[in-house]
Amino acid sequence: MTSQTIGAAASGTWELGDLRINRIGFGAMRLPQTGEALVADAVPRDREQAIGVLRRAVELGVNHIDTAAFYFSPLRSANELINRALAPYPDDLVITTKVGPGRAPSGRWLPHATPEQLRGQVEENLRQLGRDHLDVVNLRIVGTDSIAERFGALAGLRDAGLIRHLGISNVTPEHLAEARAIAPVVCVQNQYGIGVRPDHDEFVRACGELGVAYVPFYAIAGTGRQAGASGAESDEVLAVARAHGASAAQVRLAWTLHRGPHVLAIPGTGSPDHLVANVAAGALRLSEEELASLDSFHRRGA
């Protein structure tokens, strides 16, 4: 597929609460370093390269960027890069961040935030991004415990005007029901992709029925997770890619977008060429036969 001139608007739009965004967005986790993310000895990425990718993303129409204060390497912070590259921010730019996990300045992981500590994490994001309120904040959790106290604490910060909309991440349908009883939830951000978590298909569909955006992470990286894409690919994905003159990564993104109009993409990359390709994937339309073939691989699992 020709990718040079395709903008993010080709993917269609979705409303996160009252914030309209293009369905193809950008994940900032890859920007602070080259190679594996979220490790203490990560190699910092060239600052100008990271800034260039962010500015190009916005030029291409990306208006939804996912980030976190804990996305940093020894010398780079995703939030600081976003601030440096994009402030003063375009009016239509929606920055989604996440709280819960935390890392010490050394890069070592800290215990997840208590309800009382969440305000400090929200304020840290406000400082780094240079904003007075955060557009969307996801409560990122681990495990199956109740999120009522932590989500309730964020709902209080929303009422106080520090946060516009709330989401939840790494969660089950039970968590979503629990959160929605406390405050509106605009998005669920979970690991999901072709061949990964076919058991979440029903949850993805149910979110659509509730008008909640489903935002998969690692849609390209898949089982490579924070280490990144391995390059290994299934025959089904490769066949569809060949038919469209597209890359496997583009087919992976297009497949997620075909799961429903409420599914958003936040592909991460430090490569300007991959950025252009990822945005262009929003224009890739897959046939029923292609989707059936990809679905059979998905259900088989990676």
Ligand X SMILES: NC(=O)c1ccc[n+]([C@@H]2O[C@H](COP(=O)([O-])OP(=O)(O)OC[C@H]3O[C@@H](n4cnc5c(N)ncnc54)[C@H](OP(=O)(O)O)[C@@H]3O)[C@@H](O)[C@H]2O)c1
Contact set with ligand X (CB under 6 A): 27-30, 66, 98, 140, 169-170, 189, 217-221, 228-229, 247, 249, 266-271, 274, 277-278
Please provide residue 14's backbone torsions phi and psi, each rounded to the nearest 5 degrees.
-145, 155
Smallest separation (angstroms) from ligand X to the CB of 142: 9
Smallest separation (angstroms) from ligand X to the CB of 119: 20
Q: Tokens for 212?
A: 């909640």
Residues 254 and 277: their CA atoms lie apart, in Å, by 11
Which ranges of 137-218 does DSSP label H, i.e. alpha helix? Answer: 148-159, 173-180, 201-210
Confirm whether 214 is a catalytic residue. no
Q: Tokens for 241?
A: 């890619």
Residues 240 and 248: their CA atoms lie apart, in Å, by 8
Q: Which of 36/295 has CB closer to ligand X?
A: 36
Q: Are strands 163-169 and 134-140 parallel, antiparallel or unpaired?
A: parallel
**Which residue lies nearest ligand X, judged by its C-beta?**
268
Q: Which of 86/289 has CB closer to ligand X?
A: 86
Residues 46 and 33: their CA atoms lie apart, in Å, by 8
Q: Which of 250/293 has CB closer to ligand X?
A: 250
- Of residues 71, 192, 214, 218, which has the active-site annotation? 71
Q: Which of 39/292 has CB closer to ligand X?
A: 39
Q: Which of 269/293 has CB closer to ligand X?
A: 269
Task: Establish whether the linkage from the previous residue to 88 is cis, with ω within 30° of 0.
Answer: yes
SS3 109: strand
Q: Tokens for 260?
A: 């429903």
Smallest separation (angstroms) from ligand X to the CB of 225: 7
Smallest separation (angstroms) from ligand X to the CB of 267: 4
Q: Which of 155/219 has CB closer to ligand X?
A: 219
Smallest separation (angstroms) from ligand X to the CB of 277: 4
Residues 37 and 18: their CA atoms lie apart, in Å, by 32
Q: At what angle do helices 272-280 and 47-59 cross, to 10 degrees?
A: 20
Q: Which of 87, 84, 89, 97 is nearest to 16 (CA)?
A: 97
List beta partners, residue 214: 188, 263
Smallest separation (angstroms) from ligand X to the CB of 149: 20
Q: Provide the annotated active-site residues.
A: 71
